Structure 1
């Protein structure tokens, strides 16, 4: 990923594109200046939006430690910005471990949450100093026998959820009724299970899904103590907090109300953590692409951009995100149009029905809400370069964060 820190006085404006959500919005003059300096395509990352999203979620979940899940946007500027805000970090791969280590994140502020790991992955995290891991089955649990004096584990519990963008419980997590047996097995192995974790799925529509999972985990915690096993002290409620790709998404404070109610029923001794990813970064990135060429096909104008499905818009293939796209040309006369990417593949179509004014070759198209699962999944297929990442709003000095 190509990265440039913007040191000029170019700035972005934080706006509310849909239903009170916050996203980066670049003025036309700023877009023109960026393109003049760097060309296209570009992905403009606004750290001020990352800060806003973190603070909004912290306000909605005031007693929850937020661990940023790096997967949707593993960018050093995001890590630095969130570290300065007091965030913790959720790691799943050796590359993510290396990234936070290079930025100076104290290992005590991290957990490794991939439920399935190689022995080399465990060793890599331990060398960094991260010693909290997640398991969800006996085979995974047994991998920690050589490290039982160094680690603390969270047991991931599955709560299937059909009403989500991605139901992660299909792939990970033990059934709730299996939890006590696995915790007892860990005790017999001399391995400490310090708590439970779950993930209700990505872009969850209702906070009630979290509430039900929290209440069930509370029951499991009681079963553990009733069985005479060491009490569990941590509950990880995962991620999946929704952003406003569409108008029907609830404001985050309203969405989190049932979560707060359920958390209030936990014992006061239980530490609660969460793993937000998409919510923190999705609104923070704006894509700028240019029209390479155009053609009239079946009554529509096809505009071919220099970024597409194999590039920054890759999330359209698997993530079902809804980006917000417009041209910088403003006119009352608009026409049904198609936006296509630059490659020679026929599936490289961004949208086949968007109302746009007449555009010329070289005109710019801007898309917002592109911070999650866009840059990180882009390719250089057909040798079209990935969009360069330009960072704005990044502070030059970061507060020192103690563990």
Structure 2
């Protein structure tokens, strides 16, 4: 029988860290090394560390930021700039093991309430054990939110007319089924962001054909998944910590320079980005409708395509791109606004996440619920 919170004594810590993803693990490292006199605990809802890299298991799952800036300054990254999810999980696991952080992490603890006491100057946090159903109470002087920005239980899929009529399978990448069989299947992947650009080349060889269906195009920048300066420094046996700092600063410098150039000379940057796509798809491919957005570069983020794998899949004929609007789903697939019907056995909705403010945890102050929409402004 689950034990009530009142029946269990509260565990007190100076700092409670919420989430054992890449931010939470990093926070734990900093607590241990910069505040060794403070007690801390990491509460994680899932059964293990990893956060987004544990949640997502779809084919090809990889970072869309380079690991020299995404990784930890205290743990030099030594692999390719864009890393597979398992490589990132291994990297985080090494940080936990090498620093004995596992003793500070409590898995299967989902936060169901957090109350601040003005009188006691203390947080009271209630967690439900996902493995036993028990509830447990914690108190802390400081609450460090590292839970991420989206709902891990369910991804965002728009409600299109006729979805219930489709005879095939509809899959959101965030809840990718282990037993899905793509071999010889016609697949539609809806979306034009980093997730779609990752999935399409990863499944192209297995499918009969995969179609990337997008409402509007996105800028992509294809390139080799290497950092030549980092490799050159390694050949000279430079200290890995120095390499990490040098490359981190160089990447940030180059990104800032590119972003400024996109603002000052958008036509030049657009031409260079499209040139990179044409190098893979050839001069006769219709770049205009499929890879030429109506906005200027960097008005939305630009996705990096390592080794141009998305464009290699398209060039091979195993993948294709359709730019149109969905009218409704049919028994066989999707009817577009243009009147064309795309047939499919499986439809993948790479359409984003459900945003989550502070993990959708019910926060309160002195027992009174807090509505953050009434307390926070952004560029108000």
TM-score where L is the length of structure 1:
0.24
Q: Which has the larger radius of gyration?
A: 2
TM-score where L is the length of structure 2:
0.25
